[in-house]
Amino acid sequence: MHKCIKCGKIYSNNAPELLAGCPCGSRIFLLIKEGNPPQTDLNFLEKLLPKNINLEIEAEPIENITVKEKGAYIINVSSLASGKPLIIKTSNGVYHVRLPKARKN
């Protein structure tokens, strides 16, 4: 089904007016899908999802070095040895990132 934008008249999918234009002068039609309109309410997802899902994710900290106070540090040695970028977290929550230099082969 197609609806004329200008006058609102409805035509079937194979109507000749779709190619020649509507008698009102418009050549623009809106496609009307037949059947049920799409479901926009997403509340049905709550019924499908299990109730006992633990949504909390415990992630490892991203910093290699954490400055607790002046002279006191927490160092993640395995992260430093793996060649990952150096990420330093200061005591006031500021992150400093040092990227390794790219090597030319």
Query: In the chain, what are the domain boundaries?
Result: 1-34, 65-98
pLDDT score of 71 more than 80? yes
DSSP string, 2-49: EEETTT--EE-TT-THHHH--TTS---EEE---SSPPP--TTHHHHHS
pLDDT, averaged across the chain: 80
Looking at the chain, the whole-number percentage of residues with pLDDT higher than 70 is 73
At residue 79, the 3 state secondary structure works out as helix
Residues 14, 20: Cα–Cα separation, whole Å: 12
Pick the more confident residue, 81 or 56: 81
Q: State the DSSP H helix or E strand holding residue 68, giving kind and residue range, or none if neither.
A: strand 65-69
pTM, two decimals, is 0.37
Under the banding of pLDDT at 50, 70 and 90, the label for residue 85 is confident
And the tokens for 13? 């999918």
pLDDT score of 23 more than 90? yes
* Low-confidence winner among 12-21, 31-40, 82-91 (lowest mean pLDDT): 31-40
Query: To which residue do tokens 């809106």 refer?
Result: 30
Pick the more confident residue, 66 or 46: 66
pLDDT score of 49 more than 70? no
